[in-house]
Amino acid sequence: MTHEGFRSESVLWSVTGIFSLLLFFTGVTVFALMLRQKRAAGAAAALCAVFLSYGLFQYIGAFLGQAVYARTAEPFEPAIPERAIMFVCLALAIGETLLFRSISAHRKKRITLMSIKEATDGLPLGVLCYAPNGRILLVNPAMERFCKKLTGEPPTDGAGFAKKLHTGEFLRGCKMIDAPEAFVICLSDDTAWTVTEEIIPYENIAIRAIMVSDITDAYRKTQQLRQVREKVLEQSAKLAKTNREIVSLASERELLAAKIKIHDELGQNLLLIKRMIFNGYTSESERAGMIKRLHENIDFLKGVADADPDEYELMIGTAKRLGVEVVVSGKLPQTQPAKHIIAVGIHECFTNTLRHAGGNKLNVCISENENLLTAVFTNNGDPPKGEICEKGGLKLLRALIERAGGEMTISASPDLSITVKLPKEV
């Protein structure tokens, strides 16, 4: 290599030396950051880069010094090839770049006090943490806004703010709301917030945390559902009253029809007595039977219903007067509309027992479990000869049962039975 060529390349060697010095300082910085992050493997890699870059810088400095101040006629040749030096510099630059990226990624994944602060500041719910002496350790903007709307001032003492929450020392227009299993506060702007308190143990210190969350939408929907529920209960009360009136009217109608029937029978008995007197022929058994029938008719006509009778008593009493005994096994339901439905069922079944089956006894078997109420009606009369056609009372009874969410089954084999199933809440 000529002296002119070496002088032109000496500039490149100088630039390489400066670059190796930059790599040295960069390696020192990476090593310090790795130590701060307590990463032994990264610190060891950064330390290797520091030694290599420093050794490379020293070698280039020594080579340039000998080459410039050499008194030989020929230029000084380097012991390490130029390409090898360039390759080492490039490898160190890439390695330190990768170490820097690793430091940055580790910092993003690591949880620090600043990262906790940034995360809580972005939360839509309010968070306040304070020590037992009241000193606030953490509070986010959402909690600060809540405190200003509730008390008129930002939180400065955690224990004092907690005391105000429990004693109700709020601004005008703010109030606590009674809610099951929740602590709810309604602010003056008609927003509802639920308050939660927790104790977080940390290094033998009980740190207290207060969190508030906006539940305005859920609260408004709950209020709307409550209003709807009140209206439904009001309508249910009106419907129960109407059902009682219907039962009373139906019972009075049936009782009136029975009285008319007995009245007609009494008239026929009187005509029969008159004819027997005129004919002058009668036996002791006929006279005894006639007297018994007259006593039964008169006793029935003398009976007076109560002013406001119980549905069951009214139906069972009416059946007894008409000659049908109602035998109940189990506990009759006392809540509406189940009570009304069972009473209507008793009325329809004893009417069919008297008119169609020719019986004098109606059995009502009541059973229930957690979800279902079952009533089975049977009688001691003759089974139906043909197909059962639902009309009149049976049709009305089925409509009442299905309206209440239940079902009715009629079986004619081996004996006639009517089964009514109602939901337990009915």
The answer to whether the beta carbons of residues 193 and 214 sit under 8 Å apart is yes
- Residue 271: per-residue pLDDT: 59
User: DSSP states of 137-174 as a string?
Assistant: EEE-HHHHHHHHHHHSS----HHHHHHHHHHT---TT-
Q: At which residue do the structure tokens 């509802």 appear?
A: 192
187 and 274 inside one domain: no
Is residue 310 in some structural domain?
A: no
**Each residue's pLDDT tens digit, 331-356:** 998 888 888 889 888 888 888 887 77
The CATH number linked to 394 is 3.30.565.10
User: Mapping DSSP to helix (H, G, I), strand (E, B) and coil, where does residue 81 land?
Assistant: coil
- Is 180 found in the same domain as 105? no
Of 304, 330, 364, the one marking the end of a domain is 304
- Supply the pLDDT for residue 241: 76
267 in any annotated domain: yes
222-247: per-residue pLDDT in tens? 888 888 888 888 887 787 777 677 76
The whole-number pLDDT of residue 309 equals: 64
Question: CA angle 264-268-273, nearest 5°?
Answer: 145
Is 250 contained in some domain? yes
Last residue of a domain, one of 187, 214, 241: 214
Q: Is 154 found in the same domain as 55?
A: no
Domain that holds residue 363: 316-426
Residue 309 lies in a domain: no
Q: What CATH number should be reported for the domain holding residue 175?
A: 3.30.450
Are 226 and 281 part of one and the same domain? Answer: yes
Does residue 95 share a domain with residue 36? yes
Number of separate domains in the chain = 4
229-237 contacts at long range (C-beta below 8 A, 24 or more positions apart): 236/336
Last residue of a domain, one of 183, 214, 245: 214
Contact by Cβ (8 Å): 183, 161: no
Q: Give per-residue pLDDT as tens, 35-65.
A: 887 888 888 888 888 888 888 888 777 776 6
User: Looking at the domain assignment, is residue 44 inside a domain?
Assistant: yes
Do 326 and 425 fall into the same domain?
Answer: yes
Q: Are residues 268 and 351 in the same domain?
A: no
**Spatial CB neighbours of 117, under 8 Å, sequence gap ≥ 6:** 138
Q: Using an 8 Å Cβ cutoff, are 174 and 187 in contact?
A: yes
297-326: pLDDT as tens digits:
676 666 544 445 678 888 888 788 777 899
Question: Residue 86: how many CA atoms within 13 Å on its side-chain side?
Answer: 6
- 83 and 118 co-located in one domain: no
Cα–Cα distance for residue pair 394/183, rounded to 1 Å: 53
